[in-house]
Structure 1
Amino acid sequence: MADEYANYIDGEWVESETGETFENRNPANSDDLIGYFQQSNSEDAARAAAAASAAETEWAETPGPERGSILSETARNLDDRKDELTETLVREEGKARGEAAGEVQRAIDIFSYYAEKTRDIGGVNKQSSSRHTNLQTVTEPVGVAGLITPWNYPIAIPAWKIAPALAAGNTAVFKPASMAPNVSRKLVECLDEAGLPAGVLNYVTGPGSEVGSTFATHEAVDAVSFTGSTQVGNHVYDMAAEDQKRVQLEMGGKNPVVVSKSADLDDAVEIAANGAFGVTGQACTATSRAIVHEELYDEFVDRLVERAAEIEIGPGLDGFDMGPQVTESELESTMEYIELGRDEGATLETGGGQPEGDRFDDGFFVEPTVFSDVDPDMQIAQEEIFGPVLAVIPASDFDDALEIANGVQYGLSASIVTNDLTESNRFVSEIEAGVVKINEKTTGLELHVPFGGMKASSSETFREQGDAGLDFFTISKTVYTNY
């Protein structure tokens, strides 16, 4: 029988007040029951917030390097369990094994990075315009942070919220996505084993309507960091803003790769395919549109179809290139968009169905899908699909491509494939996106530089990762000392 897993509140693993649980199953094999998790309610979330509030002062007064030593030990614990964590991630989220291993390594690196950054947090000295005056800033933690994370990067995104929050001296309440709560539970285990004091981090599973809403509105929570859909993110913002909490949102994307007339076609096809079909297209930075110069268009489509046919689909634990969608509902949503693309008049070049065969019978698999003859106003060119579906759109020249690229509500990640220096520089200046790439896929992020979007992709308040990741979790006092 599958195990039942508890919440982590005030340093103890405890059951929910509801006495109820929910199932977590393998999306590549729905018969594989991973375990039961707490179906928590607002009372559980409030208990976690109270524990974080009670631990707030002592943790804030803990010297930064001492906090850093706990984060370093956490990184070592994660590294010791890397194979286990990789398998856990594949089993509950569906990524290919190599993708999952890379995500786990990213979590390890994030904790190592912020462990070292604890030595730099404090403030700066400035020259005063007055004699006999010292002028300085003092950096302090915000207080209690509410962290709400998605299922598509179930250990990396929790790591890049938890690590800077704790490094800066905040306590935290953390709600993982119910579709993939197990690998982040093991992350919490690693923090606990590293000696994290009781109450500093609290992990509560359950529905966003109960747990997430409580974290967003509870009087003890001072800041809320959310990653997920734009619709839910905007709702979180509205709730948290009622009592003027600090809010950080990272949300959806409709990310383009522009293929210039000067592009190397081999590079362009590989960049587009990796960005669109990697992690089964289940990334907010996934390539969803390829905007291709009309003189290269037909050959690009032909080569892209050939490249899509090379992708081997199947369970990640068995070494295949592309795994399933995370749930049946996500698969159904992708299939609805594929049908919509047909109805809108786009040409289905390849994919569009569910693969057949014994290894697919019990999972939520879909074929890599390419549409051509896509008009920029079609829904498949405007709305986030969150599956391995790429809309290929022709452009007459660079200005036309740029206008198409910017002609959506989102602005998260964007790429151009070009050998023209003028085009690359104009693209950096004129594209409406928070992440801009030249001759690279739209997915993939360095951990020590800021990450965030524009327009409906972000609250445009604070960035995540790097030094910017600490900015959200800290507040400054300015001190004048007349001696």
Structure 2
Amino acid sequence: MAELKHYPCFIGGERIDAASGALLEVENPATEEVWATVPDCGADEAVRALESARDAQRAWAELPAVERGRWVHRLAHAVEENRDHFVELLVREQGKTVPDAHGEVTDTVTYLTYAAEAARRIEGRIFPSENRGEQLWIQNVPYGVTVGMCAYNFPLALIGRKVGPALVTGNTMVLKPHEATPVTASEFCRIASEIGLPAGVLNVVTGSGIEASAALVSSPLTRLVSLTGSTQAGQAIYRASAENVNGLILELGGKASFIVLEDADLDKAVDAAVASRFANSGQVCICNELVLVHESIAEEFTARVVAKVKEIELADDAMTRGMGPSVTGASIARIDGMLRASVEGGARVEVGGGRPDGDRFARGHWYLPTVVSGVTRTMPLATTEIFGPIMPIVAVKDYAEALEICNDREDALSAYIFTQNASTIFHAINHMEVGTVFVNQPIVGYIQGYHNGHKRSGVGGEDGVYGIDNYLQRRTVYLNYN
């Protein structure tokens, strides 16, 4: 076995290992080869990171916002300068193909740049007073110490999405990456340190257990927690934050309905259904999770989708093309169990349906791109977020039934609808109980938009002017100058 490379935490601008000496191994999802280690931190390191962020926050907030924005611009520039390095990390750590890894680096630079440019647009309000010689101000001020907790599907982009807005608004941040993808966060903080970002403004704590995460979330030093993760993780953070009444930005799981009605442009709907299901091996929270297709076109739609999915290749040895693996073995075991249970209930595997054959796929978290027809609304593939490369298809009798199934979900992050009927489109926009509606549109996310969920898919959100705003709290000033 090749010698493992060690990536430390960064606390107060210093390289830090766990006081216990414990290490967390990091594997390559494509091969299951362990190639790196990071500190397996506990509560002591978490508290130390929070204290460092607290000590740095006041001086950081007193910098003019434009100056903070310049620092975030420097971070964006440093990420771009280290593009090839981060691409290599994303391929080895997350299982992305090289083109997808380049896309993630580009997205990260965009997130940071957008946040930096927002420095001149942090606005307050002045309202008329009830009295003479008086003004009423509403100021936007930072929370203070924030915690950014990231999922494994976009290890770098989620950092940019959180760090940029947090820092430009005057907060400091402690990052806690997912235990499967911690190296990218360590390297991001390394380049932040190398460009001279003031010590303590950005810290990272890695670890596999709940001890470090619990300490970060429940500490009275923490004033806001931003999580991208599962609904279960969000609920746990909600409970843990209750005593301190922390601010929360929770972007949680989703089970996006993909509605295709009888008047849809089938070519467009088929292309979008496949692109929106198998992007990043299905590991995107706003992916097409459940196709609800009108029964009159279900057979034709399914046949076209199957033909297109058969064209998807698994990534080659160099990960330069094709669909990559899932990040963890546990996720593959989970989705395969959901598939088997649904098939036992009467669903049919049209293509895929398991691990690929061949010596190259004997190790690694590979799963064939899969289409399953004959799914009913009560089967596991229809009731639980898949977060993997399986597309379940349910035939529905009309739009009303599709909307009912869509709105019956509590994980209400996003939904898709394909129809050429304007009345139906506007009805869906007004009645789909989700945070994002895609109309005749495949999966996409623009920085100027807003990424948020309804119901159990979270509170708050990221991106755009509202995303920046979520890292600020209000202060009301009654100013009497008479």
TM-score by length of 2: 0.97
The letter of the residue matching 1:106 is D
1:87 maps to what in 2? 88
The letter of the residue matching 2:463 is Q
1:11 maps to what in 2? 13
Q: Structure 1: how far apart are the matches of 2:65 and 2:191?
A: 19
2:240 maps to what in 1? 239
1:480 maps to what in 2? 478
Q: Structure 1: how far apart are the matches of 2:322 and 2:315?
A: 7
1:389-468 matched pairs, under 5 angstroms: 389-441=390-442, 443-458=443-458, 460=459, 462-468=460-466
1:22 maps to what in 2? 24
Q: Displacement of 1:185 after TM fit?
A: 1.9
1:295-306 matched pairs, under 5 angstroms: 295-306=296-307
The letter of the residue matching 2:452 is G
Q: Structure 1: how far apart are the matches of 2:102 and 2:165?
A: 22
Work out whether residues 424 and 438 of structure 1, in 8 Å CA contact, stay in contact via their aligned partners in 2.
yes
Is 1:323–2:362 an aligned residue pair? Answer: no
Cα-to-partner distance string for 1:69-105 (whole Å, 9 max, x where unaligned): 1100111111111122112111111122222211111
Cα-to-partner distance string for 1:388-409 (whole Å, 9 max, x where unaligned): 1111111111112111222222
Cα distance change, pair 208–420 in 1 and its aligned pair in 2 (3 A): farther
Q: Displacement of 1:129 after TM fit?
A: 4.6
Q: Displacement of 1:208 after TM fit?
A: 4.5
Cα-to-partner distance string for 1:243-288 (whole Å, 9 max, x where unaligned): 2111221111111110011111111111111111111111111111
Cα-to-partner distance string for 1:423-462 (whole Å, 9 max, x where unaligned): 1111111111101111112x3311122111111211x3x2
1:141-156 matched pairs, under 5 angstroms: 141-156=142-157
1:281 maps to what in 2? 282
1:201-212 matched pairs, under 5 angstroms: 201-212=202-213
Q: Structure 2: how far apart are the matches of 1:127 and 1:329?
A: 58
1:74-473 matched pairs, under 5 angstroms: 74-315=75-316, 317-441=318-442, 443-458=443-458, 460=459, 462-473=460-471
Work out whether residues 175 and 185 of structure 2, in 8 Å CA contact, stay in contact via their aligned partners in 1.
no
Cα-to-partner distance string for 1:113-172 (whole Å, 9 max, x where unaligned): 111111222522233354332232221111100111111111111211111111110111
Deviates more, 1:178-187 or 1:47-56: 178-187
Q: Structure 2: how far apart are the matches of 1:82 and 1:114?
A: 19
Work out whether residues 179 and 208 of structure 2, in 8 Å CA contact, stay in contact via their aligned partners in 1.
yes
Q: How well do the aligned residues superpose, as a CA RMSD in angstroms?
A: 1.4
Q: Structure 2: how far apart are the matches of 1:158 and 1:170?
A: 15
Work out whether residues 3 and 36 of structure 1, in 8 Å CA contact, stay in contact via their aligned partners in 2.
yes
Q: Displacement of 1:471 after TM fit?
A: 2.3
Q: What SS does structure 1 have at the residue aligned with 2:388?
A: coil
Q: Displacement of 1:316 after TM fit?
A: 7.4
Q: Structure 2: how far apart are the matches of 1:124 and 1:191?
A: 34
Q: Structure 1: how far apart are the matches of 2:351 and 2:414?
A: 25
Q: Structure 2: how far apart are the matches of 1:174 and 1:208?
A: 15
Work out whether residues 428 and 436 of structure 1, in 8 Å CA contact, stay in contact via their aligned partners in 2.
yes
The letter of the residue matching 1:27 is P
Cα distance change, pair 148–231 in 1 and its aligned pair in 2 (3 A): same
Q: What SS does structure 2 have at the residue aligned with 1:29?
A: coil
Cα distance change, pair 457–116 in 1 and its aligned pair in 2 (3 A): same
Q: Displacement of 1:322 after TM fit?
A: 0.5
Q: Structure 2: how far apart are the matches of 1:418 and 1:59?
A: 50
Q: Displacement of 1:481 after TM fit?
A: 2.3
Give % identity.
35
The letter of the residue matching 1:451 is H
The letter of the residue matching 1:6 is P
Work out whether residues 165 and 172 of structure 1, in 8 Å CA contact, stay in contact via their aligned partners in 2.
yes
TM-score by length of 1: 0.96
Q: Structure 2: how far apart are the matches of 1:268 and 1:147?
A: 36
Q: Displacement of 1:207 after TM fit?
A: 2.4
Q: Structure 2: how far apart are the matches of 1:248 and 1:289?
A: 26
Q: Structure 2: how far apart are the matches of 1:102 and 1:134?
A: 48
Q: Structure 2: how far apart are the matches of 1:167 and 1:450?
A: 18
Q: Structure 1: how far apart are the matches of 2:339 and 2:188?
A: 36
Q: What SS does structure 2 have at the residue aligned with 1:118?
A: helix
2:4 maps to what in 1? 2
Q: Structure 2: how far apart are the matches of 1:163 and 1:50?
A: 21
Q: What SS does structure 1 have at the residue aligned with 2:250?
A: strand
Cα distance change, pair 175–224 in 1 and its aligned pair in 2 (3 A): same
Alignment gaps of 5+ in structure 2 = none
Q: Displacement of 1:470 after TM fit?
A: 2.2
1:43 maps to what in 2? 44
Q: Structure 1: how far apart are the matches of 2:153 and 2:352?
A: 22
Q: Structure 1: how far apart are the matches of 2:46 and 2:277?
A: 37
Q: Structure 2: how far apart are the matches of 1:316 and 1:107?
A: 26
Work out whether residues 96 and 319 of structure 2, in 8 Å CA contact, stay in contact via their aligned partners in 1.
no
The letter of the residue matching 1:278 is A
Work out whether residues 122 and 140 of structure 1, in 8 Å CA contact, stay in contact via their aligned partners in 2.
no
Q: Structure 1: how far apart are the matches of 2:237 and 2:22?
A: 25
Moved over 4 A (4+): none
Q: Structure 2: how far apart are the matches of 1:482 and 1:237?
A: 39
Q: Structure 1: how far apart are the matches of 2:261 and 2:317?
A: 34
Task: Report how many residues are paired.
Answer: 479
